A and B are shown apart, each in its own frame.
Chain A
Amino acid sequence: MSTSHPFLQVENLARVYPSPTGGDPVTVFDHVNFRIHKGEFVCVTGHSGCGKSTILNILAGLDAATIGNVFMDGREVAGPSLDRGVIFQSHALMPWLTVLENVSFAVKSRWPSRTKTQIRDHAMRYIELVGLKGAEHKKPSQLSGGMKQRVGIARAFSIEPKMLLMDEPFGALDALTRGVIQDELLKICAETQQTVFMITHDVDEAILLSDKIMLMSNGPHARIAEIVNNTLPRPRERSAIHKHAHYYPIRTHLVDFLVSRSKLFGGQRDAPDAPSSPSVFDPEDMVEAAPAEATVVPLPQAGKPHIHLVNA
């Protein structure tokens, strides 16, 4: 994680939708700037309607920004690419294909000249990685929700993308299944050093998985209001992370943001579309200064910027 050369760079992104009733167009988000480094796991959270999914779709190349640019590996993102794997919330498996065929379809798209056996072996390796060996000839309709999402994960990882984009991948799963799959994802990401951008509504999920959590204020004119450095050491264990001194400061900070600060943020600017920079929260500062109470950073004063931010 060097701060010198960002892998993904998002500059001044904004999305304006024409009003459905014919009135003024609605700016869902604007002045969105952030950087993601190679191997970093970044979670984004915020209330519904702040444009998280739109940002993810723009990163994927499935949607276009009204203003602003996205650069990955020095090149501008201008459309979908095999360099960015997407895990959809609805798993998006093709129901007429088996598990193996679904993954092979992706592998064949990535390496069209490979032989059938090579494609099959490659796909099987990723099916095994998500623990679905033995179910490869089943159709998605024969699988549980958790298993379907695992196929989605296997498919996204199988093309060995430079970056993985996940839109609330576990939102539709029950808590137990979600926990199991999160652990698996944690393991796979540790093995592959995958760069990940993930949307989640689940604070605990964000803490367990991420290196950095971006908090978005409410729309319209939603922004990345705060960035939280997740300083919990890796490897992380679900059963042990809450014992770490940084766990509760981070968690309280996130929950407080979602409960109260997310809606106040917009009101603190001179004009709705005035630029703003996110403040950075780092639990290391907090624990050293005041271990117990002062977990909330006052908004206008940014904490020590551990990561370089692009100014709007």
Chain B
Amino acid sequence: MKKLTELCLYDAREGLLNKDFTSKELVLDHIAVMESSRSLNAFITETPEIAIKSAENSDSRLNKGTNRDLEGIPIGVKDMFCTKGVLTTASSKMLSNFIPPYESTVTNNLWNEGAILLGKLNNDEFAMGSSNETSFYGPVINPWKGNNNEQNLVPGGSSGGSSASVAANISLGALGTDTGGSIRQPASFTGTVGLKPTYGRCSRWGIIAFASSLDQAGPITRNVRDNAILLKNMCSHDPKDTTSSSKKIPNFEESIGNSVKGLKVGIPNEFFQEGMSNEIIDIWDKGKEWLKKSGAEIIDISLPNTKYALPCYYIIAPAEASSNLARYDGVRFGHSVNSSDINEMYRATRSEGFGDEVKRRIMIGTYVLSSGYYDAYYLKAQKVRSLITEDYNKVFNSVDVILTPSTPNSAFGLNEKSDDPLSMYLNDIFTVPVNLAGLPAISVPAGLDSNGLPLGLQLIGKPFEEETIYSFAKVIEDSANFKNIENQWWVQ
């Protein structure tokens, strides 16, 4: 029999229903792996007591037949989600002592369906980063390594703990948040499946805000079906979030295996980057071939404003962040530095509490909103954003889904880009436009590069058509026949 941690979420659920094992057994195995995998630094807070207690409760429900959709399934939660009574840090010194007296809507939905919290996952500080290196709790290490190379690689970011924990079989699935690619890029770097739902699909209530108009919660899993199962249980219409959709929530799992025959796939020529590696182009071509073989029609499309998406994002996201992070003032929660002068207290608290990347974004955001610059930067960016959205609206009149690479490269080395913010930002070049337009998109592992590192393909869908994305993603998954990492070098 397979080790229980090698099961995917779907199989684990089947196993529990068939009484092949108990939830407690499943959870204990995961706790053991969590503990033996600490060298990856994927978790900030481990919650074994909560997990075991919940598992016992799940087992009793499974026995009584009152089990719910995710009964007894252990998952990890990015430390951006507020969890009642459990330390929630946003991977920042600023919140290194914050224990929320409330539970985020998304996690609450999952607990209500029987899912079990294994622990809180590391991420870039306040979700600002693409490598998980900005965390106050130190970087997360990618379970993947290059061929014949001992160098530690980043797991991507900001949901680096989420992607690493799923790739390393520590959790059956994990929650991430995606503001500019923070689910899809780490999924691509770790050979996992990561979906950013349509803006409004998941409630943002109780998720520590980075950039409100872009943030969206989503699942990271080892396969497409698991992803659909997790997403269904995350979504709800939340009256506490003005931007939460009241649209009906489909049973996403049912779209897995649906034929894509006759559907149209757009290939945006603007995504061909100068200097783009052949390996990325190859994997993209493969993706087209697979979809074509499955009966989908490949169509060249144009998204003319694509090149402006990244600069546009790096105005809007920091602007919103600069305001969202103003509440960290040392008065009501979090890190605080005493002073006899209120302004001195603010400055000392925030200078000590925030790391460099967060400070950088607050500074950029403050700058682009400040008097004299607002029109040239912030307002301009929101207008360009309209053009970008318009590009997608137009294209979606003629295609059902758009296929692109997820990232311009595979996982890079630790500290390789951390001194150069701009080159780090360029990592999000393919993922960012999707957030600006509020669209759903997934990254599915499609193969390995010559260095033996995973590469993902991105599928972008129409608003609230995650089902179509899942149907296509399943085709890629089946065609790519991607194998998860086998050498568990990190286990101690």
Q: Do A and B belong to a common assembly? A: no
